[in-house]
């Protein structure tokens, strides 16, 4: 027999089994397209030059790994599913006189043709969609769109294509082996005859309840963002174990309980749905659990990346009460000589004038930021490298500086202090504290503090106003003695606002370049200087660019991975429905014969599909709801502390997800009806 014969047979088989093959080819193509796009985004040098674009190069390889792994699993899963469904057909070929190797040939060509189709369609789709993705990224990063000719890079087309062709080659080998191992009689026998009704596994049920409770408990009980970071993955693992255990044993326990309640059970839809689900739970529990977990992952990924991105403006507002924080100096020998703030400000004004800019505010900020151990109201001068819940971060400032920055009179004397405690702190109010022999008493709680402390909010942060320079120097001295080389420096910064924050966005780099030149001149003008000079600028616009680049890229990665996981979820659901459809067809035919009308059959089918379909969605919603507390704390580590915004984004993500899920449901339910009736 010639190759042409096998290819023709393979082609007609693909067409006959398109209900099985089409989704598999589409999935392969979809994953291949996503894979190509992510690879290309990381390699596209045009994007690397865009503001914030460098994060694409850093973060996209992570996405490549996830999508690559997911593709690997999906391609193997769809293949094994198809082989299982077609066993009888292969058995028939056998009876008709084909040898195993002939069946192997046919299967090889089927896999090869569908693989090449998937890769070709995927690469083409990827190349076409790439431009759209670039446009989306430019929007997300808030930069001008790069338009122009289609960007096709052979250096990414080749690896994407080769990787996927490799996957299909692996399935070819697997199929070859599994065909060789099959026995013709087994192939012909119809699957799942005489399945036993499953037994309730009490131990597993117990493990499931315990792990799930523990996972949920961790999420609710963890108050410290830093603990949240370490415990999050433990909670994830616990919940995954719990989900699998509960689906496998819990579902059976619940169904048996329902079955025991005769009044409920002996109603037509209940009876058919409950016994049908009980019967198939054994084989389907793991599938349903996987769908639930994938759905939860999509939800968590979507809500956190969306809210991080949506909260950027918020984060910037809370961190930048003013636009520019700056100091500058030069080296005289080994000593760093600060340029006095008056002089620095004169240079800034001069530069502003040259560039037609207006400075609307300027002030001075002087503070000491310092970490302590904390125990029973006592600040301990012990330096640890780790952030533990026992560490607190304090920002000290004199009464005088506080008044000049805020205009508020505090009238503190001696060891009296005023404290601002961050809303995210665990210890919300502090009456005072002890530091060595000094006992400070708090006479006033402050609602706000001129220095932004949010950056440190993974530990408790306190803004502390001291009565005067004497106390300030005292504390500075104490921490210098205790911490030695690691001691904190007193921060002295010039604080400046420009009139038009928006307009400065495009000018600020020119402005600070010009300022730097002036500082250079000052450094050179001093005959003692060795020519080295420095300028430290912490400004709103620079951070904005960085934060949009980082969180925007994360957001895009979240989107594209959510898309990939949705695709995977849809595929698993679709195949599950199809295989169940073939199993259920016989059952519903019998019920028709025994006296069930068409409408009643449809009703019963509907009830059953709904249960199987929406159970994972409900489980995912519950998982996500219980994940919210720990996610809110994790968000704080990532500088997003707007809880309402996060909840809103989670709700929106769920709505979008549920909508897409509903569409998948409609499509698969349609196929299911078609098979059953």
Partner 1 sequence: MTLLEVKGLKKIYTTRFGGNQVQALSNVNFSVEEGEYVAIMGESGSGKTTLLNMLAALDRPTSGQILLDGKELSSIGEKELAVFRRENLGFVFQEFNLLDTFSIKDNIFLPLVLSGTPVAEMERRLAPIARRLGLDQLLRKFPYEISGGQKQRVAVARALITNPKLILADEPTGALDSKSTDDLLRVFRDINAQGQTILMVTHSTRAASHANRILFIKDGEVYHQIYRGARTNEQLYQKISDTLTMLATGGEQA
Binding site for partner 1 (CB under 8 A): 193-197, 262-263, 266-268, 271, 275-276, 278-279, 587, 590-591, 593-600
Q: How far is the CB of 276 from partner 1 (least distance, A)?
A: 6
Q: How far is the CB of 597 from partner 1 (least distance, A)?
A: 3
Q: Where are the alpha helices (DSSP H) in 355-450?
A: 399-406
Q: Report, in this order, helix, strand and coil percent for the chain, each rounded to 5.
A: 70, 15, 20
The backbone region for 69, taken as left when phi is positive above 0, alpha when psi lies in -120 to 50, beta otherwise, is alpha
Given the structure tokens 């400000």, which residue do they identify? 345
Number of H helices, E strands in the chain: 21, 11
Q: How far is the CB of 227 from partner 1 (least distance, A)?
A: 48
Phi and psi, residue 76, nearest 5°: -65, -40
Q: How far is the CB of 609 from partner 1 (least distance, A)?
A: 16
Q: How far is the CB of 284 from partner 1 (least distance, A)?
A: 13
Sequence-separated (6 or more) residues with CB below 8 Å from residue 394 = 369, 370, 371, 372, 379, 461, 462, 463, 464
Q: How far is the CB of 588 from partner 1 (least distance, A)?
A: 10
Kindly tell me which of 265 and 673 has the beta carbon lying closer to partner 1: 265
Kindly tell me which of 272 and 571 has the beta carbon lying closer to partner 1: 272
Cβ neighbours of 370 (radius 10 Å): 24
The whole-angstrom distance between residue 337's C-alpha and the CA centroid of its chain comes to: 45
How far, in Å, CA of 511 to CA of 184, rounded? 80
Q: How far is the CB of 598 from partner 1 (least distance, A)?
A: 8
Q: How far is the CB of 202 from partner 1 (least distance, A)?
A: 21
Residue whose C-alpha is closest to residue 215's, from 195, 244, 183: 244
Sequence-separated (6 or more) residues with CB below 8 Å from residue 1 = 102
The whole-angstrom distance between residue 379's C-alpha and the CA centroid of its chain comes to: 37
Q: How far is the CB of 273 from partner 1 (least distance, A)?
A: 10
Kindly tell me which of 29 and 281 has the beta carbon lying closer to partner 1: 281
The backbone region for 148, taken as left when phi is positive above 0, alpha when psi lies in -120 to 50, beta otherwise, is left
Give the bridge partners for 493, in sequence order. Answer: 365
Longest Cα separation, the chain: 107
Kindly tell me which of 100 and 587 has the beta carbon lying closer to partner 1: 587
Q: How far is the CB of 267 from partner 1 (least distance, A)?
A: 7
Kindly tell me which of 210 and 591 has the beta carbon lying closer to partner 1: 591
Kindly tell me which of 163 and 279 has the beta carbon lying closer to partner 1: 279
Kindly tell me which of 194 and 423 has the beta carbon lying closer to partner 1: 194
Kindly tell me which of 227 and 275 has the beta carbon lying closer to partner 1: 275
Question: Do the Cβ atoms of 241 and 216 come closer than 8 Å?
Answer: no
Q: How far is the CB of 592 from partner 1 (least distance, A)?
A: 8
Cβ neighbours of 568 (radius 10 Å): 23
Question: Do the Cβ atoms of 59 and 557 come closer than 8 Å?
Answer: yes
Kindly tell me which of 609 and 634 has the beta carbon lying closer to partner 1: 609
Kindly tell me which of 276 and 369 has the beta carbon lying closer to partner 1: 276
Q: Where are the strands (E) in 467-569, listed by range?
A: 490-498, 529-539
How far, in Å, CA of 546 to CA of 639, rounded? 13
Kindly tell me which of 265 and 563 has the beta carbon lying closer to partner 1: 265
């Amino acid at each position: 027999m010639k190759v042409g014969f096998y290819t023709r047979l393979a082609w007609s088989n693909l067409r006959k089994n398109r209900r099985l093959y089409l989704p598999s080819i589409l999935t392969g193509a979809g994953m291949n397209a996503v894979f190509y796009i992510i690879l290309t985004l990381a390699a596209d040098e045009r994007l690397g030059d865009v503001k914030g674009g460098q994060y694409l190069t850093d973060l996209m390889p992570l996405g490549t790994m996830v999508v690559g792994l997911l593709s690997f699993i999906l391609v193997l899963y769809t293949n094994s599913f198809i082989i299982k469904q077609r066993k009888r057909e292969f058995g028939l070929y056998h009876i008709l006189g084909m040898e195993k190797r002939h069946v192997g040939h046919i299967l090889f060509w089927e896999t090869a043709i569908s693989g090449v189709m998937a890769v070709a369609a995927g690469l083409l789709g990827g190349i076409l969609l790439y431009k759209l993705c670039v446009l989306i990224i430019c929007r997300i990063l808030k930069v001008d769109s790069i338009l122009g000719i289609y960007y096709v890079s052979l250096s990414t087309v080749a690896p994407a294509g080769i990787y996927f062709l490799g996957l299909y080659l692996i399935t070819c080998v697997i199929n070859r082996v599994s065909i060789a191992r099959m026995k013709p009689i087994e192939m012909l026998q119809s699957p799942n005859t005489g399945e036993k009704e499953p037994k309730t596994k009490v131990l597993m049920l117990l493990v499931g309840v315990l792990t799930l409770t523990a996972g949920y408990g961790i999420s609710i009980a963890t108050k410290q963002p830093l603990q949240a970071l370490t415990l999050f993955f433990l909670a994830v693992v616990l919940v995954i174990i719990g989900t699998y255990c509960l689906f496998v044993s819990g579902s059976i326990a619940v169904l048996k309980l329902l079955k025991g309640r005769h009044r409920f059970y002996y109603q037509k839809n209940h009876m058919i749905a409950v016994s049908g689900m009980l019967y198939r739970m054994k084989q389907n529990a793991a599938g349903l659990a996987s769908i639930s977990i994938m759905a939860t992952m999509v939800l968590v990924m979507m809500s956190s990346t969306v809210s991080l991105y949506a909260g950027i403006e918020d984060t910037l507002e809370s961190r930048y009460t003013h636009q520019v924080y700056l100091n500058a100096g030069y080296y005289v020998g080994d000593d760093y000589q600060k340029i006095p703030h008056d002089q620095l400000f004169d240079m800034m004004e001069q530069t502003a004038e040259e560039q037609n800019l207006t400075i609307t505010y300027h002030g001075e900020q002087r503070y000491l930021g310092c970490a302590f151990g904390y125990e029973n109201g006592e600040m301990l001068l012990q330096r640890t490298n780790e952030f533990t819940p026992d560490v607190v971060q304090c920002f000290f400032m004199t009464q005088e500086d506080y008044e000049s920055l805020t205009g508020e009179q505090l009238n503190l004397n001696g060891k009296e202090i005023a404290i601002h405690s961050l809303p995210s702190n665990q210890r919300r109010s502090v009456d005072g504290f002890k530091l060595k022999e000094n006992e400070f008493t708090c006479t006033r709680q402050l609602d706000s503090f001129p220095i932004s402390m949010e950056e440190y909010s993974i530990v408790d942060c306190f803004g502390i106003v001291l009565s005067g320079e004497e106390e300030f120097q005292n504390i500075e001295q104490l921490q210098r003695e205790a911490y030695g080389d690691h001691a904190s420096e007193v921060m002295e910064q010039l604080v400046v606002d420009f009139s038009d924050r928006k307009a400065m966005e495009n000018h600020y780099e020119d402005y600070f370049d010009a300022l730097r030149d002036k500082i250079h001149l000052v450094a050179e003008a001093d005959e003692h200087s060795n020519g080295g000079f420095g300028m430290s600028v912490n400004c709103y616009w620079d951070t904005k660019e960085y934060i949009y680049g980082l969180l925007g890229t994360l957001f895009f990665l979240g989107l594209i991975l959510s898309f990939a996981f949705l695709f995977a979820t849809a595929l698993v659901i679709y195949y599950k429905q199809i295989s169940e459809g073939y199993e259920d067809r016989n059952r519903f035919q019998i019920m028709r014969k025994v006296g069930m009308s068409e409408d009643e059959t449809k009703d019963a089918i509907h009830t059953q599909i709904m249960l199987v379909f929406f159970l994972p969605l409900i489980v995912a919603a519950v998982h996500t709801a219980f994940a919210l507390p720990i996610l809110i704390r994790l968000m704080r580590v990532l500088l997003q502390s707007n809880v309402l915004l996060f909840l809103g984004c989670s709700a929106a993500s769920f709505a979008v997800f549920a909508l897409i899920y509903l569409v998948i449901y409609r499509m698969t339910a349609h196929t299911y009806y078609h098979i059953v009736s």
